[in-house]
């Protein structure tokens, strides 16, 4: 932001040179990037009034002018400019004049007639093209008609002074204006600050005779709306002092009304907007959400399509302005405007920022409205603009105002404990100095013996807590005055959490078995749940929706890792990779509520995927290898109601009644959705459950001294009887003597009737104290058969 020092001096006493001022402001937190010198090297250029204009007798494109420069005789100047008329007051370069571009003026001869100088433009006087009034961009600079003649142009246009180029941080919108920077300057230099005196001297009539009301329909997007009416509008150029002030601040003068609103925005930081009252249907203004796909033609004459997340200022029929961003074309001030409404409002910064970005429209007004600003300034800025309009004779202010929303300001109170200052700043500062610094910043502060009590002014929306006050004290004390010191604190050895260590251990196990690790995005397409055939009422469809996704394929946060695994398998399979064993350890996200308000639960899952020369038991073996290394023993239950998996080749793993995960063959439909025409096996396991149940406190025993004895047993049971349950039953017969039980055969076919199967187990017996006898084994074996018959109606296969 450009801060003309000459303008700032109207509100604060500056008793130092520009360079020192810039350095001091930087040291107290207002970063000054540069000091810009506005001094123009112009000599022997004066003001003159055109008395006569005649065509050049020997040149069609030239004219001969006689110009009064307040000397005995007028000066003859020949020019080709098209924008000059008799009576215009213009800058006149006399013989010997020198301009900023290095041009030196001398007497010239044009087709037989002498010219004793030239009239010049703003560009030739050294002004940047972007701040020159449009009507003067391609021609001679036209000065106000009451300009004194023969006066040095440097005095008339004030071609001197300097400006500070200041980088204002997002949290300090109070500094995005001249008054705010003057306030900072006063606190930095310890001088007095003076707020502009605002007084409207001649209000006429009653606003209710002209405007039927203002309303706020969506207070979450607009907290305050304030309006005044100005009649008898006379559109024209603003006074030269105002034009020059705006130009020094980097803005182009437009006309008196627009210039006033821009002047106040730069002066006080509050954007304003003027409407042609006679163009407003119903003569009222309403702050409301736009309707979805509602249209408005903005002042740049482009049609914009709006969404219902955007705020507009509308009349009783249609939008008149995109709130805080850009005005509407049909309601803008034009040369025929006679009565206008001046609006100032306090908008939701987030809404303005999103609207500006969505529409690709950014302006000085939107840059301010998208930052948190106090709603008190709404009224002050509006009245200041009315004061200036009255002062420059651009209109008559109508008495009264209309407003909606909050207006009374109750200053928040923040306390500061002085003993906390050394902890955060590393330096002792006397309480009296703290009070002095805070009060210099207009933060009204007192000390009650224990703490400093501060009332936060309306313009400091960034101060919310004790640390903010300490920062204010520190920056006026000047951080550079705080001596550097080593950091204090105890040194601790960092380590990974148990969960991270478990993840690393599982990765080591799986990589050792021959699996490859993959990493995928946490964002997936909502269609992914359809691809793996998730049922419509499944909890997996309760996902977090992304408000601003990169695209539809990244618009939801995953609740399962399986879709990502299937996509990787599909990609590899389609590129000629015949076999693959893959795994991923990653996060899933479960929302706590819908719509999402709080952060979702984040859980870590292990997903394994295989295809090619592998089967169900290969996957089962991998999982058992992991579980055995973690000391976890699970029971298996068949899964028949999960549409993502094959109903006859899928198992769920439990520790007691706690579900650890699921593994099995993917359903043909799910595989087909990914263009896979062969069997795919997958597993998804909860890492946090593994951590909860793992037991790696290994107990070591000496090798057995006595031999084991092995007996096989084959029984016929119904198809639905699970081998795992039968193994648990066998082990429970005599846990001390039955060392292990292994399933080694399942047979269905000849000699086994329909609906039944033959299941064969190998039972290993051992006594650690002595050698078992045949009789003892036969007794236990007999009990095993009895238990299997009793619980499962098992029959010994002969």
* Annotated binding-site residue numbers: 462, 468, 471-472
With DSSP H G I counted as helix, E B as strand and the rest as coil, what are the percentages for the chain, rounded to 5?
30, 30, 45
Distance between CA atoms of residues 172 and 55, nearest Å: 58
Find tokens 């995928």 and name the residue: 520
Tokens of 2: 């450009």
Beta bridge partners of 756: 718
How many Cα neighbours within 13 Å face the side chain of 610?
23
β-strand pairing of 89-98 with 117-119: antiparallel
Taking the CA atoms of 414, 419, 423 and 429 in sequence, report the sign of the dihedral they define. positive
Q: Considering only CA atoms, which of 730, 747, 763, 762 is closest in space to residue 797?
A: 747
Tokens of 57: 């007798």
Q: Residues 6 or more apart from 484 whose CB is under 8 A from it?
A: none
The span from the CA of 465 to the CA of 472, in Å, is 11
Which structure tokens are listed for 583? 């795994």
Strands 580-590 and 516-517, bridge-based pairing: parallel
Do the beta carbons of residue 321 and residue 273 sit within 8 Å?
A: yes
CA distances from 349 to 58, 322, 323, 365, 407 (A): 63, 14, 11, 12, 18
SS3 sequence, 409-448? CCCCEEEECCCHHHHHHCCCCCHHHHHHHHHHCCCEEEEC
Please give the structure tokens belonging to residue 652: 């769920």
* Distance set, CA 600 to CA 48, 552, 557, 587, 748 (Å): 74, 21, 10, 11, 49
Give the pair of three-digit tokens for residue 589.
């996200």
CB 311 within 8 A of CB 290: yes
Q: What is the DSSP letter of 581?
A: E
Say whether 397 sits in a helix, a strand or coil. strand
| E-assigned strand segments in 493-613 | 516-517, 523-524, 544-545, 556-557, 580-590, 601-611
Are 11 and 196 in contact by the 8 Å Cβ rule? The answer is yes
Q: CA-CA distances (angstroms) from residue 530 to 53, 164, 291? A: 82, 60, 33
Nearest CA among 505, 504, 530, 531 for reference residue 673: 531
Binding-site annotation: residue ranges for Mg(2+): 462, 468, 471-472
Angle at 391 between CA 387 and CA 397, to 5 degrees: 50
Per DSSP, which regions of 168-284 are E strands?
214-216, 222-231, 273-276
Q: Smallest Cα–Cα separation from 355: which of 260, 289, 401, 302?
A: 289
């Amino acid at each position: 932001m450009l801060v003309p020092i000459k303008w700032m001096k109207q509100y604060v006493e500056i008793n130092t040179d520009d360079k020192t001022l810039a350095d001091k402001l930087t040291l107290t937190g207002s970063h000054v990037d540069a000091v810009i010198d506005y001094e123009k090297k112009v000599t022997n250029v004066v003001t003159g009034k055109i008395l006569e204009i005649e065509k050049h007798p020997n040149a069609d494109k030239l004219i001969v002018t006689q110009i009064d420069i307040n000397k005995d005789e007028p000066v003859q100047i020949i020019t080709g400019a098209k924008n000059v008329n008799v009576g215009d007051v213009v800058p006149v370069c006399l013989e010997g004049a020198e301009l900023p571009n290095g041009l030196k003026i001398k007497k010239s001869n044009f087709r037989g007639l002498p010219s004793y100088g030239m009239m010049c433009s703003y560009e030739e006087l050294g002004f940047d093209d972007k701040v020159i009034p449009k009507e003067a961009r391609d021609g001679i600079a036209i000065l106000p008609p009451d300009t004194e003649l023969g006066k040095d142009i440097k005095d008339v246009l004030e071609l001197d002074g300097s400006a500070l180029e200041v980088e204002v941080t997002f949290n300090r919108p109070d500094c995005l204006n001249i008054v705010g920077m003057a306030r900072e300057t006063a606190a930095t230099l310890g001088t007095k600050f003076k707020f502009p005196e605002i007084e409207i001297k001649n209000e006429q009539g009653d606003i209710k005779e002209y405007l039927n009301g203002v309303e706020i329909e969506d207070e979450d997007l607009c907290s305050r709306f304030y309006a005044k009416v100005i009649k008898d509008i006379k559109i024209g150029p603003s006074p030269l002092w105002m034009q020059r002030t705006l130009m020094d601040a980097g803005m182009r003068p437009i006309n008196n009304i627009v210039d006033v609103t821009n002047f106040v925005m730069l002066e006080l930081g509050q954007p304003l907007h003027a409407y042609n009252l006679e163009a407003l249907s119903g003569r009222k203004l309403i702050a409301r959400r736009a309707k979805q796909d509602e249209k408005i033609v903005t002042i740049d004459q482009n049609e914009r399509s709006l969404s219902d997340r955007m705020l507009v200022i509308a009349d009783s029929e249609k939008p008149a302005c995109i709130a805080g961003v850009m005005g509407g074309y049909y309601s803008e001030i034009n040369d025929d405007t006679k009565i206008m409404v001046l609006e100032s409002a306090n908008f939701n910064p987030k809404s303005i920022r999103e609207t500006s970005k969505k529409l690709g429209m950014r302006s000085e007004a939107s840059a301010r409205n998208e930052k948190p600003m106090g709603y008190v300034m709404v009224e002050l800025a509006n009245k200041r603009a009315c004061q200036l309009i009255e002062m420059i004779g651009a209109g008559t202010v109508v008495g009264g105002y209309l407003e909606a929303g909050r207006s009374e300001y109750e200053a928040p109170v923040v306390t500061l404990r002085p003993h906390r200052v050394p902890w955060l700043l590393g330096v002792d500062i006397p309480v009296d100095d703290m009070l002095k610094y805070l009060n210099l910043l207009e933060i009204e502060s007192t000390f009650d013996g224990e703490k400093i009590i501060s009332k936060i002014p309306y313009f400091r929306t960034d101060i919310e807590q004790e640390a903010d006050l300490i920062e204010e004290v520190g920056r006026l004390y000047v951080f550079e005055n705080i001596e550097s010191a080593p950091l204090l604190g105890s040194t601790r050895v960092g380590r990974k959490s148990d969960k991270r260590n478990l993840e690393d251990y599982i990765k080591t196990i799986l990589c050792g078995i021959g699996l490859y690790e993959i990493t995928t995005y946490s964002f997936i397409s909502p269609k992914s749940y359809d691809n793996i055939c998730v049922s419509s009422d499944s909890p997996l469809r309760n996902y977090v929706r992304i408000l601003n996704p990169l695209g539809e394929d990244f618009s939801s946060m995953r609740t399962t890792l399986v879709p990502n695994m299937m996509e990787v398998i599909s990609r590899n399979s389609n590129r000629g990779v015949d076999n693959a064993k893959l795994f991923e350890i990653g996060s899933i996200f479960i929302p706590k509520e819908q719509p999402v308000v709080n952060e979702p639960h984040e859980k870590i899952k292990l997903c394994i995927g295989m295809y090619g020369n592998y089967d169900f038991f290969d996957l089962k073996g991998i999982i058992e290898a992991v579980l055995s290394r973690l000391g976890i023993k699970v029971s298996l239950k068949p899964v028949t109601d999960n549409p993502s998996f094959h109903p006859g080749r899928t198992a769920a793993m439990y520790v007691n009644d706690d579900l650890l995960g699921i593994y099995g063959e993917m359903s043909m439909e799910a595989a087909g959705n990914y263009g896979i025409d062969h069997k795919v096996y997958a597993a998804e396991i909860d890492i946090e459950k593994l951590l909860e149940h793992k037991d790696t406190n290994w107990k070591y025993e000496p090798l057995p001294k006595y031999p084991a004895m092995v007996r096989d047993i084959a029984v016929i049971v119904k198809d639905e009887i699970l081998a795992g349950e039968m193994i648990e039953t066998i082990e429970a017969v005599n846990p001390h003597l039955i060392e292990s039980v292994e399933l080694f055969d399942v047979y269905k076919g000849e000699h086994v009737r329909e609906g039944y199967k033959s299941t064969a187990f190998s039972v290993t017996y051992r006594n650690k104290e002595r050698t078992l006898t045949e009789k003892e084994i036969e007794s236990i074996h007999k009990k095993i058969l009895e238990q299997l018959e009793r619980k499962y109606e098992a029959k010994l296969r002969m």
